């Protein structure tokens, strides 16, 4: 019972910190985007100001909407992204700390794939339930993106799990603990490193699509369908979707770090930070983790949305179903063949 209460307390604390960090990273994202475009940009805390403004604004429910779905969809989106964040980050923090607990064996990648789908399904349900033609078009586009992205994402997960099954012996290959304990690059030859690089590129392209950012924001597309999915949302329900987006972006970039760059400070340097008898290595590990998440966010989301224009929905579907699916399959095959070629 005591362990359960500790886990619940840690989870709630992680969620609060995750929401704060997700919004703060959005502020960093906007600052970087402004810098790239030679603008001053909004203050770092602008996402917090926007959230505060939305929470006090009037919430309007469309007359022709399916009210209970329209109201429930943003709540489900935030709840599912919160569970996703806890499910990804908490086992990794247990691993970094070197502790044991009921969550240490959690973090199954198959469950994470399902959790990633729920926020998108919530958006789709809310869009269709709103009764708006713009939201309906946005929901249809979100369905296409969701179906297209899952294929290369699943291949990346399978490739990582196969590598874990070879590197970790009898350990659960789909567990985040196994992935963190056995970095995918360990023992790889040149062919395996190339294959891992292809998987990194694939997942790097999936990040903005999963988080609904340019060039894969076809479901919202302000200049085409007037915010699409969110056209009829206002007030606190729009704020809930904003929170869900911030938390999901943080959770998915954290998943990227855990899959490909899970190394803590001691893993990288072989040293621990001990000052006046106190071990501060874990605190440094957390700081290093946050820095890696911000770097991934900046490269995969900020730089891409500044450099590219929105793709057509048909172009996005072809990119994921053909180009990135083939790229991820090639990465998987290179990782599979690497030990066999190296052993010749």
Report the run of H or E that residue 278 belongs to, with start and end: strand 278-279
Contact criterion met (CB below 8 Å) for 219 and 145: yes
Coil, strand or helix at 60: coil
- Residue partners of 261: CB distance under 8 A and separation at least 6: 183, 292
pTM as predicted: 0.92
pLDDT computed for residue 218 by the predictor:
75
Low-confidence ranges of the chain (pLDDT < 70): 1-4, 100-107, 168-170, 342-344
- Residue partners of 327: CB distance under 8 A and separation at least 6: 152, 198, 201, 202
Residue 275's φ and ψ, nearest 5 degrees, are -130, 125
**CA terminus-to-terminus distance, the chain:** 54
Distance CA 152, CA 235 (A): 36
Domain membership of residue 11 as a residue range: 2-342
Report the run of H or E that residue 275 belongs to, with start and end: strand 274-275
pLDDT computed for residue 189 by the predictor:
84
* Pick from 225, 203, 207, 224: nearest CA to 216: 207
Contact criterion met (CB below 8 Å) for 307 and 217: no
Number of domains forming the structure of the chain: 1
* Pick from 300, 320, 188: nearest CA to 255: 300
pLDDT computed for residue 212 by the predictor:
83
- Residue partners of 273: CB distance under 8 A and separation at least 6: 265, 279, 280, 281, 284
Distance CA 27, CA 42 (A): 8
pLDDT computed for residue 344 by the predictor:
56
Mind listing the pLDDT tens digit for each residue in 145-165?
889 999 999 999 999 999 988
The number of angstroms, rounded, from the C-alpha of 218 to the middle of its chain's C-alpha atoms is 18
pLDDT computed for residue 105 by the predictor:
62
């Amino acid at each position: 019972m005591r362990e359960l209460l500790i886990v619940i307390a840690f989870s709630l604390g992680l969620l609060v910190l995750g929401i704060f960090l997700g919004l703060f990273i959005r502020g960093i994202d906007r600052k970087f985007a402004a810098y790239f475009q030679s603008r001053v940009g909004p203050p770092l805390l602008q996402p917090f100001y926007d959230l505060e403004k939305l929470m006090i604004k009037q919430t309007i429910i469309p007359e022709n909407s399916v009210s209970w779905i329209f109201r429930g969809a943003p709540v489900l989106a935030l709840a599912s992204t919160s569970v996703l964040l806890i499910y990804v980050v908490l086992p990794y923090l247990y691993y970094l700390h070197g502790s044991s607990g009921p969550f240490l064996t959690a973090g199954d990648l198959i469950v994470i794939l399902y959790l990633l789908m729920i926020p998108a399904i919530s958006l789709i349900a809310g869009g269709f339930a709103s009764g708006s033609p713009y939201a309906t078009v946005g929901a249809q586009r979100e369905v296409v993106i969701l179906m297209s992205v899952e294929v290369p994402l699943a291949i990346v997960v399978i490739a990582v799990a196969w590598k874990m099954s070879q590197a970790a012996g009898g350990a659960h290959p789909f567990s985040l603990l196994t992935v963190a304990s056995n970095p995918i690059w360990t023992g790889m030859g040149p062919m395996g490193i190339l294959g891992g690089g292809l998987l990194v590129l694939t997942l790097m392209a999936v990040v903005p699509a999963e988080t609904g950012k340019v060039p894969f924001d076809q479901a919202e597309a302000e200049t085409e369908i007037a915010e699409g999915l969110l056209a009829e949302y206002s007030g606190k329900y729009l704020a809930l979707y904003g929170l869900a987006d911030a938390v999901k972006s943080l959770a998915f970039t954290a998943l990227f770090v855990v899959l490909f760059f899970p190394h803590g400070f001691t893993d990288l340097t072989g040293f621990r930070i001990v000052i006046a008898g106190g071990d501060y290595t874990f605190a440094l590990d957390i700081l290093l983790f946050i820095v890696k998440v911000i770097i991934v966010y900046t490269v995969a989301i900020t730089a891409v949305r500044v450099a590219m224009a929105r793709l057509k929905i048909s172009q996005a579907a072809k990119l994921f179903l053909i180009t990135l699916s083939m790229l991820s399959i090639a990465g998987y095959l290179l990782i599979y063949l690497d030990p066999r070629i190296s052993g010749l």
